[in-house]
Structure 1
Amino acid sequence: MTEILPHSGTIKENIHYFPLRIYYEDTDVGGVVYYANYLKFMERARTEMLRVLGIDQKGMLDYNNPEDVSFVVKRAEIDFKKPARFDDSLIVRSEIIDRGGASIVIRQIITKNEEELVLGIIKIAAIGKDGKPKRLPMAIAERFE
């Protein structure tokens, strides 16, 4: 039997492309995507981007992981330009635009037919199990270059 796996998107020229479809559950009473759901879409796209880059977030959360590092959102800036609606087919484009010792900044653009609907700038911080900032391990940092 062939195993069916979720589609993680693809990376082209340092930009990750993640496709998604808008379902009825994503919309509000006005028939447009509820604003907070765009943050969920961006989170899914970032998770899949890390998966494509070979970063095992689930393994990072393992208490016995010697790297003792995980990712949290430190800042999210969102600019809503146009609404998405039920059954729209969208693409979330994610691009790493800055990397510090303990953080990365990702530009995420949600588009429909190449038209920009939402722009997000998300700063992700690396933290240890104690909740304090921690430098990205070299094995992870190298994947962001």
Structure 2
Amino acid sequence: MKDKIHHFPIRVYYEDTDIGGVVYYANYLKYMERARSEMLRVLGIDQAEMLDYNHSDDVAFVVKRAEIDFNKGARFDDHLVVKSEITKLGGASVIIKQDITLDDHILVTGMIKIASVGQDGKAKRLPGAIKEKLKI
């Protein structure tokens, strides 16, 4: 993490692109998901442990909302960086701004709201220990 922003490098593979060699739009969401997972790992949040509902916290994260702006497409073999920053921490949710960049030019911007849910799938307050780790 640098200045509260997590940097996650990604190389565009042939399988990520359409016939024109441009990244297929849905793959940007996959890139963002990977970057969020790695950011949580760096913050000390073990999502595998969270998914074990026998664990005392009994919560998991789900994406509640995704707003994506596409500015320019990435191409096969580009070296991208997904920059993730927590912008808002609520009682049961977190908003993360994510920029996918190429040479510091923003290609895609996303505002992703993740929610904390219990085993029943209903919103559940973030446990104190997890909330503390998210306060970066």
Paired letter, 2:123: P
The secondary structure found in structure 1 opposite 2:25 is coil
1:70 to 52, 60, 64: 60
Paired letter, 1:81: N
Aligned residues: 135
2:43 to 42, 53, 64: 53
1:108 to 98, 112, 118: 98
Paired letter, 2:37: T
Percent identity, aligned pairs only?
68
The secondary structure found in structure 2 opposite 1:143 is helix
Equivalent-residue separation in structure 2 for 1:39 and 1:73 (angstroms): 11
How many Å apart are 1:30 and its aligned residue? 1.6
How many Å apart are 1:63 and its aligned residue? 2.6
How many Å apart are 1:144 and its aligned residue? 1.3
* Counterpart in the other structure of 1:131: 121
Say whether 1:35 aligns with 2:35.
no
TM-score by length of 2: 0.98
* Counterpart in the other structure of 2:111: 121
Select the structure with the greater relative contact order (CA < 8 A; seq sep ≥ 6). Answer: 2
TM-score by length of 1: 0.92
> Which whole-Å deviations, capped at 9, do the CAs of 1:82-127 have from their partners, x for residues lacking one?
0100000000000000011000000000000000000000000000
1:87-102 paired onto structure 2 within 5 Å: 87-102=77-92
> Which whole-Å deviations, capped at 9, do the CAs of 1:44-81 have from their partners, x for residues lacking one?
00000000000000000013111100000000000000
Q: Which runs of 5+ in 1 are unaligned?
A: 1-10
Equivalent-residue separation in structure 1 for 2:53 and 2:93 (angstroms): 21
Equivalent-residue separation in structure 2 for 1:59 and 1:116 (angstroms): 34
The secondary structure found in structure 2 opposite 1:12 is coil
Paired letter, 1:45: A
Contact 2:66 2:112 in 1 (8 A): yes
